[in-house]
Amino acid sequence: MLDALAHTLRSHPDRPAVLGTTRTGAVRTKATCGELADLADRYAAALHARGVPRGGTVGVAVRPGPRALAVMLAVHRLGLRAAVLDPAAGPDVLRARLALARPDVVLADATAQAVAGWARPLARRARLALPDLAELGPVATVGRRLPGCAPALDTGGGTAVLPRPVDEDGDAVIVFTSGTTSRPRAVVHTRSSLAAGMATVTGLVRPEPGRPVLGGTFFVLVPSLASGAPVALPARSPRVLARQLRRLAPRATYLTPPQLRAALAEEARFTGRVWTGSAPASADLLTRVKAAGADEAWGVYALTELFPAAAVEQADKAAFGGEGDLVGAPLPGVEAKTDATGELVLSGPAARDRYLGEDPAPWVGTGDRARFDADGRIVLEGRCKDMVLRRAENIYPGLYEPALHVPGVELAVLVGVPAGDGDERLVAVVQPRREADHDRVRAALAAPLERMGAARPDALLLADIPLSGRSSKPDRAATARLAAARTGDAARRTRGTVR
């Protein structure tokens, strides 16, 4: 798919490729096909000139857009693998993750370097935090270089030698998921598994040459651009996003459930087919999207390990009367079954090759309990894992709970409590020691809470944590019920912020 994209970009250099929007919703071109191809070539030549070995790892801390896509094309051309750095994960987690991946070079734009440097206090307000990037490996700047940034990657322009594209399978991308700061876990996708996943997306979205697609994920950008469809990056402001949808009238749209809810609150109108994923999409949400003009509204079931796995259209989801969450039939090529514990496991060409540092394995555990209805469709019955899903982000408590054990704390857990429409609020439940001063405990927790980035809890509750079992481990289910009861009124008063 990435090879097909490179060909399409060169074949139609004057076509708009990546689109943005003004505050009025007017369409503007961020990069043409030719500009995107040239940028990818310059990055590939520069990485080659730096001596990054074939199969080497490139850390990527670049905002979504033309530069990030050009970096991925360059990495693919050279047979390298990209390790995506998420500034919302928090610096402690990122240090542990990159120690596992060991990048040969870290490519960062000026914004990422500012988050790790002079703009750190401002970035914390947006729940973004990066360690000093130089701790993670040699750093090079892509895009505009500001004072204090690392040297530019693309210095030398078009004078560097452009290597021939690598044409064989191998590791393509590392995406970090669960684990702990002491034992991070990362999904490794190969070039073939990425290609299979993006081919499935092409069949779902059915992009058409010249007809715009709205969506900012890599799995939307590549298949759409390879098909000749320009891709518009969604506006961050819900009000501007609503204007953008009206002016652009996209043939297909991919937004997360939180983005859809925010756009609907601004009375957005939709066109064509609308897709949503990364978090549960209720029948009610899909129905509202169709009522707002969409021809079709689809919920996509996917994992980092296998994207996409299943899909269901609003009409089928609304008509489903059984217990559980209908997510649709497995997509072509996807094999699905349940194991002895009732957990849904998946396999197929788009499945990840392995977890970093582990052997390849054909089946992917989803962490979801499931059953199959009479038509072979997947019905989810709840999660097996302790993962909390908030605003389309997977939050793994085990990553962050150790940091909550500051002086004066006996126990600490993170739990999710329902927040409506499939979303959850994250609550840190901390049990102080009997002799501890509660005000001092709260003060001591301030710093680790700040470092949690996008996993920062919506509420902090000091309370005794229920225990269960022979070993008296924290009872997460009971703790979640306690958190829901004790923080419900506070959440309505404070809109869920940590106080």
pLDDT for position 492: 44
pLDDT for position 494: 41
> Is the pLDDT assigned to residue 225 strictly greater than 80?
yes
Residues 140-159: b if buried by 16+ CB within 10 A, e if exposed: bbbbebeeebbeebbeeeee
DSSP 20-50: EE-TT--EEEEEEHHHHHHHHHHHHHHHHHT
> CA nearest 366: which of 353, 350, 382, 377?
382
Q: What is the mean pLDDT of residues 38-53?
A: 93
pLDDT for position 496: 41
Among the ranges given (146-150, 171-175, 359-363), the one the predictor scored with the smallest mean pLDDT: 146-150
Q: How far apart are CA 194 and CA 408, in angstroms?
A: 47
pLDDT for position 493: 42
Q: How many CA atoms lie within 13 A of 319 on its CB side?
A: 6
- Percent of the chain scoring above 90 in pLDDT: 60
pLDDT for position 136: 77
Q: What is the mean pLDDT of residues 256-279?
A: 92
Phi, psi torsion values for 356, nearest 5 degrees:
-55, 130
pLDDT tens, residue by residue, 116-134: 776 777 666 666 677 788 8
Among the ranges given (275-284, 300-309, 347-356), the one the predictor scored with the smallest mean pLDDT: 275-284
> Is the pLDDT assigned to residue 42 strictly greater than 50?
yes
Q: How many CA atoms lie within 13 A of 325 on its CB side?
A: 20
Q: What is the mean pLDDT of residues 95-104?
A: 86
pLDDT tens, residue by residue, 101-119: 899 999 998 888 887 776 7
pLDDT for position 498: 46
Between 405 and 355, residue with greater pLDDT: 355
Between 409 and 33, residue with greater pLDDT: 33
Between 194 and 410, residue with greater pLDDT: 194
pLDDT tens, residue by residue, 420-451: 777 899 999 999 988 899 999 999 999 999 98
Between 394 and 461, residue with greater pLDDT: 461
Strands 364-372 and 343-347: antiparallel
pLDDT for position 182: 67
pLDDT for position 497: 43
Give the model's confidence band at 364: pLDDT under 50 very low, under 70 low, under 90 confident, else very high.
very high
